[in-house]
Amino acid sequence: MTPPPKGTSVLLEARSIIAMITPQPPHVPVIVLELEDGREFALYNVPYEVVRALNMLESGEELPDLARGSIFDILAVLRDLVRDLGNKLEQVVIDEIDYNTYLYTAKASFNLGGIYMVRRMIPSHAIFLAKLFGKPVYVSQKLVDEQEELERRMREEEEGF
């Protein structure tokens, strides 16, 4: 496995991945990464298809024959046919945010026989690939700290501080 590039922040490994639709309105698709230090990192408004596919991977269920499938459903069902991709994927790291759009970016690292390729990806898609092939997912501690600080400030505003 390739080590993180020098100069990057501390990376926290996701010990589990929970994909869900929030129970209270407005219903929002969310992926929650439970991190090795006990904290959580949440990705909101992820594609519903990714949430459904992650839950199918977790439960072992398959999409009903008559249902319209997404590319995620197809990849899950045909996992053995794309196993070579999974063998080359080493890890996924969420370590970037665009402060203008507040969108995160993940980096998927591939080992192509000694040549390493890193591709920037939509985090939910990269998480799906990692989960599909049993590869680790890491999150920059800096992003986790920033998300916690933002949530704290929002709670304080709601409480009238």
What CA–CA distance (Å, rounded) separates 71 from 122? 14
Going from N- to C-terminal start, the domains of the chain cover 11-159
Name the pTM for this structure: 0.88
Dump pLDDT digits (tens) for 4-31: 554 557 899 999 999 999 988 889 999 9
Architecture of domain 11-159: Roll (3.10)
Residues forming beta bridges with residue 43, ordered by sequence position: 31
Residues 29-51: what's their mean pLDDT?
95
Please state, as a whole number, how many other Cβ atoms lie within 10 Å of the Cβ of residue 89. Answer: 20
Structure tokens that stand for 154 in this block = 């929002």
What CA–CA distance (Å, rounded) separates 29 from 49? 9
Dump pLDDT digits (tens) for 102-152: 999 999 999 999 899 999 999 999 999 999 999 999 999 999 999 999 989
C-beta of residue 35 within 8 angstroms of C-beta of residue 41: yes
| pLDDT for the residue 66 | 65
